[in-house]
Amino acid sequence: MSTSLSLHGRRKTRNSVMMTLCVVAAGIGLAWLALILGALVYKGVAGLSLSVFTEMTPPPGEAGGLLNAIAGSIAMTIIAIAVGTPIGVLAGTYMAEYGRFSKLTTVVRFINDILLSAPSIIVGLFVYELLVRPMGHFSAIAGAFALAILVIPVVVRTTEDMLNLVPNALREAGTAIGAPRWVVIKSVAYRAALSGIVTGILLAIARISGETAPLLFTALNNQFWSSNLNAPMASLPVTIFQFALSPYEEWQQLAWTGALIITLTVLALSIVARSLTGRREDK
């Protein structure tokens, strides 16, 4: 009796120890998030002022803002989304609608999932070889193109998932009244899956707005205002990279402020994207 009791005790102790460790692990995870966000807000807010959004990046040792970097990031993001979204949505459409059971779909899904988590610096090298080297110079177009390649897998994945959730009865109803396949897709499937597809695009924007590695040797950087897409263009992440590693206090402060701006943007986008599909996750 006593041995079985002590065995019972050992098992209970072991259970409490392991469960305590799990709680500690969760505590560590959350504390780390809090630490990073706390440091970011603390250091970033100090430099937050209107001039950040109205002035150009300064030369070393002077005050200034991040206007050209923010504008460059927005411009390249818009081009990347404009190029990547249609391709991603169409590819996702093929996988969920026309070729749901085809071999091609299986292969594309596998490759797409790999692209989804492939190192972004590899994409930068690819675009360098593809565009920058033949053109002979760095350009905003090359940067936007690199970002577009990162957009495509995200959009493909969400589009396919969301279209797969559309009940087939809806499609059959469309076909039964004589609508051709593309009308069914356009007016029934897309409409039913719209919020999900938009979520995918928002997640893609969130993903690329902080990407630095693919821009380093495609768009490079630019100390000045530039609206020439065929020339190097500043972007927020690359500017942060450059300023943070510099020895100048003003630049480091701007880097923190820029980091705060990016993080807030990304968090806001993720939260909006989440709330768009939130109800579905509750199931």
Partner 1 sequence: MTVVSEAMPSAATMRAREATVRRFALTDTIFLAATRLSAILVLLILGGVAISLFAGSWQALSTFGLSFLTTESWNPVTENFGALAPIYGTIVTAAVAILIAVPIGIGIAIFLTELCPRPLRRPIGIAVELLAGIPSIIYGIWGLFVFAPFLQTTVQPFFINLFHDVPGLSSLFAGPPYGIGLLTSALILAIMVLPFITSITKDVFDTVPAVLKESAYGIGCTTWEVTRRVVIPYTRVGIMGGVMLGLGRALGETMAVTFVIGNAHRISASLFAPGTTISATIANEFTEADGDLYTSSLVALGLILFVITFLILAAARYMLMRIDARTGA
Alpha helices in 67-127 (DSSP H): 67-93, 103-117, 120-127
Return the range that interacts with partner 1 (CB under 8 A); candidates 11-19, 51-59, 68-76, 168-176: 11-19
Task: Please report whether residue 74 would count as binding partner 1 according to CB under 8 A.
Answer: no
Return the range that interacts with partner 1 (CB under 8 A); candidates 57-65, 73-81, 212-220, 223-231: 212-220
Task: Please report whether residue 64 would count as binding partner 1 according to CB under 8 A.
Answer: no
Task: Please report whether residue 83 would count as binding partner 1 according to CB under 8 A.
Answer: no
Q: How far is CA 111 from CA 108, 204, 226, 266, in A?
A: 5, 18, 36, 26
Of 60 and 278, which has the nearer Cβ to partner 1?
Answer: 278
DSSP code for 231: S
> Rg for the chain (alpha carbons), in Å?
24
**Quick one: which of 32, 82, 100, 187 contacts partner 1 (CB under 8 A)?**
32
Of 173 and 271, which has the nearer Cβ to partner 1?
Answer: 271
As to burial, measured by CB atoms within 10 angstroms (0-12 exposed, 13-18 middle, 19+ buried), residue 73 is buried
* Contact characters 145-174, partner 1, x per CB under 8 A: ----x--xx--x------------------
Q: In this structure, what token pair is assigned to residue 102? A: 């085809």
CA–CA distance, 266 with 206 (Å, rounded to integer)? 5
Task: Please report whether residue 248 would count as binding partner 1 according to CB under 8 A.
Answer: no
**Quick one: which of 108, 147, 151, 201 contacts partner 1 (CB under 8 A)?**
108
Q: In this structure, what token pair is assigned to residue 196? A: 């999900």
Task: Please report whether residue 31 would count as binding partner 1 according to CB under 8 A.
Answer: no
Of 28 and 63, which has the nearer Cβ to partner 1?
Answer: 28
Of 21 and 63, which has the nearer Cβ to partner 1?
Answer: 21
Could you say which residues in the range 117-146 bind partner 1, by CB under 8 A? Answer: 117-123, 125-126, 128-130
Give yes or no for a contact between 260 and 40, defined as CB atoms under 8 angstroms apart: yes
Of 54 and 272, which has the nearer Cβ to partner 1?
Answer: 272
Task: Please report whether residue 272 would count as binding partner 1 according to CB under 8 A.
Answer: no
Of 21 and 194, which has the nearer Cβ to partner 1?
Answer: 21
Task: Please report whether residue 204 would count as binding partner 1 according to CB under 8 A.
Answer: no
Alpha helices in the chain (DSSP H): 2-45, 50-54, 67-93, 103-117, 120-127, 133-135, 140-165, 168-176, 181-183, 190-192, 194-209, 213-216, 236-244, 249-281
Sign of the CA dihedral with 214 first, then 219, 225, and 226 last: negative
